[in-house]
Each structure stands twice: as C-alpha cells, then as structure tokens.
A and B are shown apart, each in its own frame.
Chain A
C-alpha cells in the first residue's frame, strides 16, 4: 500500500535524498568493543566534531552557567555580560580543580572552590589570593580559562574541542536548512534525563536509526506507524528517515475497519472526535494533517513553515556523531549518546524532551537534570522496549562467535553512520556544505 507524501514542501526539503554507495561488507564488531578503536574515536571524532553543549534557555541571564561532560572532559558553558555563550574547559589553572562541580547555576564570577582563584565571565583570571607569592610569576593575565570554539543554532549551544575546528555551519551542513522550519529556538525543554547504559554509544545510536525492529519489539505501533513506506535520506555526514504516523502498517494482515485505539487517542489529543470520523482508516493521517492546518490558531501554534506531512509524521534526523531528533510539528525528542570515559561497553544516554509553548500558555520551568542507571526509571513503553535488548546486544558483540553487523537495506542509516565515522577515523572529513 502506497503512502501519500507532499509533492512540494515549504522550508524543509521533502524530496528523496541521494543514495551513496555504501558497500556491503561486514561492519567489524571491534568498532563497538575495542578500547583501541574507542581511543581512535576520541582522537578523530569527539576531539574534532561539533558537539551539543546545552540549550540557550538553560543560561538565559548574565552569569548563568552549565557544565557538560564528554569523555574525560568537563566543559563549562557561561553566559557573558555581552550575552555571548562561551565554552571553557572546566578546570582551574592552579592545581587542576574543576571550577564548577554542579550541573548549573549563576555566578557573577567563576571562582574555584579550592584557593579562590577567580575568573571573570570571559574566562580571564582576575583575582588570585596572595598573587605576589608565586615564584613562577603572577598568574593573572597568563592563565585564563581555556576557551574552545562554540556556536549556536536553533536554541542549542555547540562546542568543538579542536581549537582549529572549521565553522560549525560547515559541520552541521544540511541541518539548519532542514530543521529551521521547526523553530527549535522557540521550543522549551520539559525533560532532561541521563541514563547509564551498558552498551557502546553506537549500539544506542543504531537502535534508533532503523525501523526494522518495530514489527518485533513495538507490535502496538504497527497500528499507528507505517514502518514500511519509510523514506530514507543519506546526506554527507547526517541522515534522516521520514516515518508516516497515524496510519496502519502494511504489515498488519487484517487491516482494521475502525479507528485503532492508539490513533483515536492521538486524534482526541488534538481535538478531533474519532467517533465522528466517517472516512476509511488509511485516510485518517491526511484528515489529521488537514485538521491541524485548519485549527492551528485554535491549537496555539503556527505551522506556516511546515509542510502537511510534517504536521503528523516523524521527521527523524541523525546529526552525526551523537544526536537523534524525533521532530514533530510542535514537539521534539532528542537523544544524545555520549561515550563512557574509559569503557567501550558503557555509555551515557541523554533524553531531552522539548515542546512548543501554545500561544498564550505559560512557559514551564526548566526541568531538573536527573541521572539514573538503566532500568531505574521507565521512559514509557516505546523507549523501554528499545532499551531492553541493548545490554544483551553489547554482551553478544563481545562474544568470540560474533564477527560484525550484517546490515539490511532498511538499516542502511547504520551503514551510512559508519561511513562518516570511518571517513573521520581515516582523516577524510566530509562536509555537507
């Protein structure tokens, strides 16, 4: 059964993307299990890529700061008096103490808690107790906090550990052109959780870059998502798939005549009455698009930059190396996968939820960050289903019997990620620009 897609988009390109030659060789499992490969990734990927630091709304005022970790590094992101967000290594130049230990706060200056060396919001060392006592010379004007390249897009602050990094815009490539239409800068974060997972960071990335698993571990979603007519688009570094929502998968043998309960719930959520719907089930998706378009003002949203498919479908982006964005017309779920400091079999899975605030509604307070171990909290049925296999995948990958990933065509976003990864490892940087 075919799916109707928009012929012309508004801002976000909707047309089928290129299909680069990705080969068909086995993807070696050592990329997921080897400490040596993990070190290569640190040297060639994490130390060279533009990475997500925080949200602008986390540091709205002068002196607001947050800390974020990547590998062994802690970064301190600070809003300066000139309203610029700067990113520093979170380390005092005196004895190596971290300048800030907490996840965030507000400070007039950045004072180390050990001997009270004090840096201003631009990172300049401005006050050192007993400054005349240093035989190496007064450290002021010599030992500023080490700032690294940073930039902002869509309400996100990015950083790059490489002092010689190319422009963020080159690295993001197609991302702004594709995603500016969603106005992430107007969205607000409603959840901020980190889960410690016993798997490689790529094991987690892969889990969300294919819909092959939907029929197996998310059988209930077959009544809300078309997991067959999925458009996969592979760009230079990044990729996406477009998954039609609120339509029944062709995999369902007996197609329902009545509105499935899972879709009925989604209809009610936007104010449609499923009882009053007189069309056929395959027509619901387009009816919901039409309803949202016609009632956007009443719903409190402005969908004028989005095409009709974007009003209901999941435009699912993978931004290399470690961001996954489930984008919808008025909300977004972001995953950030971060490697463990030392162990290729562990990682940090950050889940951040964002919502567009309906016009006239109050802006919710920022959520507290919460870090837990796998299984300690539920992330809801779908994400719980996604996560339950992953520690076992990692254990299996470490088996002598396992050689590597045997990838299907519908899983080719995984192969595409590996191409970008290996281009970086081999020093063949690709740019979308």
Chain B
C-alpha cells in the first residue's frame, strides 16, 4: 500500500478538482470534463503502450482517432439503400481491384529477382491499377453523392448497435497500424515520428474529402447512442418520480402547485442531462478499468519484461533471441487499436462525426504531452496525465481570464492592453501546456508518477 501512496494522493487531488468544477460551474460541465478525461485516459494508455513499454514514437494518434470515429459511422448508421443501388457495385468493384493490385505486386516481388525490369513492372501495375480505379470509381461516387446530398449522399453504415463500433474501431485502427508498421517501423525514432505524423494527415485528408464514405466535411450528425435520450427521460414517469424523490426537501418548501411543477420541470431537464452523462461515465469507466487491469497484468508478465528489455537495449535483447521487428509491430498494432477504440468512444460521446475537427495539435501533441507529464511506462501515470492535461486544457481559459481580470483590475475597462489580453484568454491553454511540458521534461523527466520496476 505504501508504494501506491503518491498514486492515491494524485488521483484524490484530481477528483477533488473535478468536484470543485461541479460546485462552482455546474455538474453537467464537471461530468463533461470527466468523460473527456476518461476518453483521454484510453488514448494515453494506447500511446503509453507504444512509448512507455516499447519506446516507439507514434505521432499518428490523430489518424487512428479519426479512424475510430469513422468506424462509428460505418457501423451504427442505417445503410442508405438507394446509394447502394446506384453506386454500391462500383465501390465493391474498386475494393476487388485494390486487392488484385496488391496480390499482383506481391506476386511480382516474390517471383522475380531484383532488377530494373521488376521495379518498372511494379510501378506500371500500380499506375495502371490507379487509372482503372478512377475509371471505375468516378461514376459510382458521383451517383452516390447525388443521392439526397443534403441529408445522405453517402453509403451509410451497417445499422448495428453503436457499441459494436468500439470493437470495429479498434480493429480498423489495428489493421491500419499493421500496414503502417510494416512500412515505417524500421526507421529511426525521430523519422518514425515525422513519418507517422504525415501518414495520419493523409488518413484524415482521405476521410475529409471522400464524401461517399462518411460525408466528409459535411459531417454526420445524430449518431446512435448507448445511453437514453434526454427527451425520452423527461417524459418517462419513473425518471420524474426519481427526480422528485431526490429533491423532495427542496420541493416541499414551495407552496403553490404551479410553482412546484415548474421547479420540478427545470430539475428534470437538468437531471436528464446529468443522467445521460453519468451513463456515459459508467461505460467509459468500465473500459478504462478493463484496459488498466489488462495492461497492468501484461506489463508485469514475462511479455512485459521482454518489451522493456527490447526498449532498454535492442542489441542485447536481439542477442537473447528476441524477434524485435515482430514485437515492435505487435505493440504498434495493440497501442493503435486502443487509440482507435478511444476515437470511437469520443464520437459516440459527441453524437456527431466531424472530420474537419481532427487536427494534429489537439489529437496528437496534446495526447503526447499527457503521456510525458503523467509518467511514461506507468499506466496509472498515463491515465493521471490524461486527467491533468485535459483538465488544464479545458480550464486554462477560465482560470486565465480570472487571473487577467485580477491583475489588470487597476486599469480602466477600455484599456487596450486589458481588452487585448481578455480577448486572447483562450490561447493561454497553449502556454500552460507548453510550459508544463518543458518543466516536466527538465525537472521530472519520468513524469508525475514514474515507472516502477517490480523485481520478480
């Protein structure tokens, strides 16, 4: 228990801060922050597996998050039958063409020896395939995008319950990570960072501009939810009774019946939003706890020891007969799959998929700051990092505004400096995160909760 004293202390402070937000701002805001903290925690677990366990630097987190979000659309949205009728055949044909290209290229690479002729033939197969793809795809895509473009204009999904999409998101991200890992994992650390950063940009730009897939920048709204809708709650009897029971002492103070009804209505509206968010919190918390148990077990298993050995000294591990390439690929896939899961969770929480909002700042670098600040190689630390950094990211602007008002209170309201500073309050979050990262890197490079090696 003594070992975990600082962990417990750090988490208590975090919970206390969120409760403070609940008291001073509102419970709805506090729960929103908590939900995002939990989603960030899942992302940091994914990033921590790659960086903390294996020392792989993956700046492509944005791409996997976006793929997880795409999975929600592909799984939960009802299929658009008309779009399938007009253009489904072309899209299916395209998939077969892609498969065929891959097999032909593989065949040529395996069958013939390295030569100029082989290179040219591979290039010509790929080029010819791309031209064939365009010829096949263009009429189909045009037909699909013209099906009721204001509402659909895309193929839709499978119409399954939304929770399946969490698994599908993880699978999708994992399989992409397999391809990227095959391409990029041989690179040195900082090249890997740049390569993954750029590949993530390619993925997001494809999701943004292929409107037949998920409406692109036109966004998909009104996604399914694993939790009840506020409107349904507000009209169901058991929920109103529950709210009345909870607030009976407050309600009893009001004498007139119409006032009482009005107060109750307001309470039901507030309570319904809190209830929905609590449902999400429960779901997310379950995911975080399951992941934490699994990753913690893995970290202290023989496999985890092997990963640490590879991280700390590749040559020595390789000399002991460990297959470094294979293990790196495996951990790259696992970590990316967890990030994909988090992406799916986030889109489910928001109820809408907005490809335009995926930016490397928010979805790659902030997540990395979380891992570094929290503690690399330690899952409790990574999760705490997710909480702390997300909390700062959201609350930095209000806190900065408060401080600016306090420090410039002697200046008149119209003072140019004061007005300018108040207008730029939202950007203080970058300053807080950046300086926080620099300070942690300098004075506590292992993070708030450092990695602990348990001798077994």
**A, B bound:** no
Residues of A within 8 A of B (CB): none
B: residues with CB less than 8 A from A are none
